Amino acid sequence: MLLEKADQIKSKQPHEFNQLLVELEQNAHTFTPYEANFFKLLQAYQIIFDGEPASAIPYTMAVYESARNNDLKIRALTVTVNLYGVMRNFIEGYTYAQQLIALIPEVSKEGQINAYAGLAIFYNHLGEYELGLESANWLIEHADNPHTVCVALQNKLEAEFYLNHVIDPGSADHAIRYCKDADEHLVTLVNLVIKAKLYYKLGKVTDAIALLESNKDVYEKAYYSVVQADYQAQLSNLYFDAGLYDKVKQHAEKAIALSSGAGMFQPRVLAFEVLYKYFERIDNMAQAHHYYKQYSETQKALLDETKMRQLAIQQTRFEAHKKVNQIALLNKENSLLKMQAELAQREIDNSRLVIATLVLLASIVMVWLLFNHKLQIQLKTQAQTDELTGIANRHYFTSVAEKALSYHQKTGQHLTVVVFDLDLFKTVNDKHGHVVGDWALQAVVDVVKRVCRNQDVIGRLGGEEFAILLPGCGARKAHLITESCRSAIAAIDTAETGATFKVTASFGVADTKLCGYKFQHLYACADKAMYRSKDEGRNRVYVYDGYPPESFTLDEKFS
Ligand SMILES: Nc1nc2c(ncn2[C@@H]2O[C@H](COP(=O)(O)OP(=O)(O)OP(=O)(O)O)[C@@H](O)[C@H]2O)c(=O)[nH]1
């Protein structure tokens, strides 16, 4: 196929290549999209060989953007990167180099080899010789097609030359021979120029001149102005150093003519420098001044370009550094997130602990409150009840009685108070002891409780004296209840104490109808009636029936 053939011979047989392109152009209307892109890429090469790298870029970019075939795409991108390198537009070149690197995993081995060849060339143009050397070594290991191996060897030599890894001009021989054998004239010329520079470094100017002059055929076939300009500039400089001034001017002028394209400052600077020194030497000061001016302007442009290159290198390193930093930052963020998650978990744990503690505290408080409540009730009960018999003590009985009296007064109901006192109780104590006496007190309360109604309140007023509050109860009904109490007490069987004795009590009953709703008065009436019972022979009930109490002597007791 013509396209492939043109591709193969493009750098080795420039004339045939140009002819093939003319032929291809005539058939362009029959091309498939792939073939059209392939053809466009070959046109780009043709433009490059004509020394117009900038004009080739729209072609390579069009192929890169429209080609569906990744191998073709990466070739177009590789050429684009190298074009920017040649034009010293390193920042653009760097941007596309990144895209190129990203595309490498998606292309065939052939495509990868193309990409690494492009990168080796670009890195060397950029001045990143370590990276250039790395790419070249990768290529030497993986590539087997002579063109690529030749490119790899040349870039390895160039990188090593600028890295000062080689000083011996013989180091270039392998690359020169290999590329010559592969008919790669252009690349061979680059290697030859490097070898000449190595001779020059060693002061072997004659050897350098001999080398370049003896390879004029290679120069002629190279057909690439960038390299040819370098060849001519080197030669003019060598002739000047060798004192062969008649040769200087022609080579320098050739170099200047060949390096008129964008960005080819290096051979121009050298050529102008040689020319101004040459005219100075032959005392043509006007020409010397003219070329010195050119030299300094080109030198300044070269410096600017170097600055740009440095900037691109810095950017390259900065981007790489940024990536590393971004990864580090991500890692940091990750560990920060991890820490935050751990902290959040700890906070949850702490919250749980706090909640658990609070629940525990609340439980303790609840238990304490309950306990306290029970205690309060217990204390209250203790304060209200008589320890021996469990009934209301005098104080509590009085307060309950007062409240009941107030209520009954409001509702117009009657209420009766019964007071009773055990008869001759001292004798029981004296005869049977206090324990038996206590038993008797409890037994009395038990039987009275059994007789009384639920709503009645029994209280121990002190010693062996008791009282009963009978709400809603008039004197008559109260009398009946009291009588039942009396007979129940009198019926107490004391056998279980081991002693036999009689327990009786004397009762006094008084109701509100006759004595009013003031407790002191009511109590005094009942007390009078009780004393009457005592006076009349004990073990009996007297209802207060109107005899006025002489005095409420117990007032103070209940106030
Ligand atoms: N066992 C016992 N005896 C008590 C208690 N409180 C008072 N007494 C006794 O009750 C007795 C009351 O005696 P007195 O006031 O002389 O009256 P009495 O012997 O019952 O005679 P009259 O009231 O006149 O029938 C005293 O011996 C007190 O010690 C008590 O809680 N337990």
| Rounded Cα–Cα distance for residues 338 and 557 (Å) | 80
Tens digits of pLDDT across the chain (559 residues)? 889 999 988 877 888 999 999 999 998 999 999 999 999 999 999 998 887 888 999 999 999 999 999 999 999 999 999 898 877 788 888 889 888 998 999 999 988 998 999 999 988 888 889 989 999 999 999 998 898 999 999 999 999 999 999 889 998 999 999 999 998 888 999 999 999 999 999 999 999 999 999 999 999 888 778 889 999 999 999 999 999 999 999 999 999 999 887 667 889 999 999 999 999 999 898 899 999 999 988 888 888 877 777 776 676 655 655 555 554 555 555 666 666 667 777 776 776 777 676 777 766 777 667 666 676 666 677 778 899 999 999 999 999 999 999 999 999 999 999 999 999 999 999 999 999 999 999 999 999 999 999 899 999 999 999 999 999 999 999 999 999 999 999 999 999 999 999 999 999 999 999 999 999 999 999 999 999 999 999 999 999 987 655 444 444 334 3
Question: What is the whole-number distance in angstroms between the Cα of residue 258 and the centre of ligand 1?
Answer: 147
Question: What is the whole-number distance in angstroms between the Cα of residue 525 and the centre of ligand 1?
Answer: 22
Q: Is 431 in the pocket of ligand 1 (CB under 6 A)?
A: no
| Rounded Cα–Cα distance for residues 9 and 20 (Å) | 10
Residue with CA nearest ligand 1 atom 15: 426
| Rounded Cα–Cα distance for residues 545 and 475 (Å) | 9
Q: Is 437 in the pocket of ligand 1 (CB under 6 A)?
A: yes
The helix (H) or strand (E) run that includes residue 511 is strand 505-511
Residues 530, 419: contact at Cβ < 8 Å?
Answer: yes
Placement of tokens 């492009």 in the chain: 118
Sheet with 415-422, strands from edge to edge, namely 392-393, 457-462, 465-471, 415-422, 505-511, 541-543
Q: Is 386 in the pocket of ligand 1 (CB under 6 A)?
A: no
Q: How far is CA 348 from CA 354, 358, 359, 461, in A?
A: 9, 15, 16, 63
Give residue 490's pLDDT: 96
CA angle 433, 450, 394 (to 5 degrees): 60
3-state helix, strand, coil in the chain (%, to 5): 75, 5, 20
Q: How far is CA 88 from CA 84, 121, 205, 304, in A?
A: 6, 12, 29, 10
What region, left, alpha or beta, does residue 127 occupy, with left being phi > 0 and alpha being psi -120 to 50 degrees? left
Q: Is 434 in the pocket of ligand 1 (CB under 6 A)?
A: yes
Q: Is 71 in the pocket of ligand 1 (CB under 6 A)?
A: no
Query: Token digits for 284?
Result: 């043509």
Give residue 85's pLDDT: 83
Instruction: Give the single-character DSSP code of 547.
Output: P
- CA 465 to centroid of chain Cα atoms: 84
Q: Taking Cα atoms as reference points, which of 228, 235, 242 lies closest to residue 211?
A: 235
Count of Cβ atoms closer than 10 Å to residue 491 Cβ: 10
- Which residues, other chains included, contact 241 with Cβ-Cβ below 8 Å and sequence gap of 6+? 200, 205
Q: Is 456 in the pocket of ligand 1 (CB under 6 A)?
A: no
Residues 456, 468: contact at Cβ < 8 Å?
Answer: yes
Give residue 222's pLDDT: 81
3-state secondary structure 140-167: HHHCCCHHHHHHHHHHHHHHHHHCCCCC
Strands 465-471 and 457-462: antiparallel
Give residue 459's pLDDT: 96
Strands 457-462 and 392-393: parallel
Question: What is the whole-number distance in angstroms between the Cα of residue 464 and the centre of ligand 1?
Answer: 6
Query: Token digits for 547?
Result: 């005899």
Q: Taking Cα atoms as reference points, which of 480, 424, 428, 436 lies closest to residue 456?
A: 480
Question: What is the whole-number distance in angstroms between the Cα of residue 433 and the centre of ligand 1?
Answer: 11
Give residue 558's pLDDT: 42
Strands 392-393 and 465-471: unpaired
Q: Is 426 in the pocket of ligand 1 (CB under 6 A)?
A: yes
Q: DSSP assignment of 116-138, as one string?
A: HHHHHHHHHHHT-HHHHHHHHHH
Residue 301 has, within 13 A of its CA and on its CB side, a CA count of 18
Give residue 360's pLDDT: 73
Give residue 554's pLDDT: 41
Give residue 264's pLDDT: 74
Give residue 383's pLDDT: 79
| Rounded Cα–Cα distance for residues 558 and 522 (Å) | 11
| Rounded Cα–Cα distance for residues 280 and 285 (Å) | 6
Give residue 348's pLDDT: 67
Strands 465-471 and 415-422: antiparallel
| Rounded Cα–Cα distance for residues 553 and 559 (Å) | 11
The residue type of 238 is L
> Residue 466: phi, psi to the nearest 5?
-130, 165
Give residue 335's pLDDT: 63
Nearest ligand 1 atom to the CA of 434 is 1
Q: Is 280 in the pocket of ligand 1 (CB under 6 A)?
A: no
Q: Is 465 in the pocket of ligand 1 (CB under 6 A)?
A: no
| Rounded Cα–Cα distance for residues 184 and 14 (Å) | 11
Q: Is 433 in the pocket of ligand 1 (CB under 6 A)?
A: no
